[in-house]
Amino acid sequence: MIVWDEVHTERVCSGGVLDVREVRARVRRALSQVVDGFDLDDVDLLVCEVATNAVRHSASGRVGGGVWVTLLASAVRLRVEIQDDGGSEGRPVIPVQSSAWDEAGRGLLMVRELADRWGTLRAEDGRHTVWFEVVR
């Protein structure tokens, strides 16, 4: 069992379409205050990929849409959870066949390769949470 030392949850949204750069910046600011020793450059990239998927494939990308971001930190592990606003047809998956030239499907491939652990959860209301963990 992991005991998290820090837990931070925040809704990130805007009056227009959600800006993924704002999601990344808020996560970076929050993490820089509570963690030390983690590669936040990799975390930035992972946050961008997951938030971009939420904007592209769910109601998070509609005007007024947003995401819930939860940050959990312990001395040796960092977990980021991004929950979309629902409304997607399927669930987040890595395509079975994907090439470097494909315009879609590479984001979760990067998450799989850079994170120590990752996964998806689906709530009863249709919202998806994509989470990843990195270890110091």
Q: Strand, helix or coil at 128? A: strand
Q: pLDDT tens digits for 11-39? A: 999 888 899 999 999 999 999 888 888 88
Q: Please tell me the distance from the alpha carbon of residue 41 to that of residue 28, in angstroms, as a whole number.
A: 9
Q: How many structural domains compose the chain?
A: 1
Q: Got the DSSP string for 65-91?
A: -EEEEEEEE-SSEEEEEEE--S--SS-
Identify the helix (H) or strand (E) that includes residue 9.
strand 6-13
Residues 6+ apart with CB under 8 A from 2: 74, 77
Assigned domain for 64 exists: yes
pTM: 0.89
Assigned domain for 10 exists: yes
Assigned domain for 1 exists: no
CATH number at residue 67: 3.30.565.10
Q: Among 8-12, 98-102, 130-134, where is mean pLDDT lowest?
A: 98-102
Q: Enter the tokens of residue 76.
A: 């040796």
Q: Which structural domain range is residue 104 located in?
A: 6-135
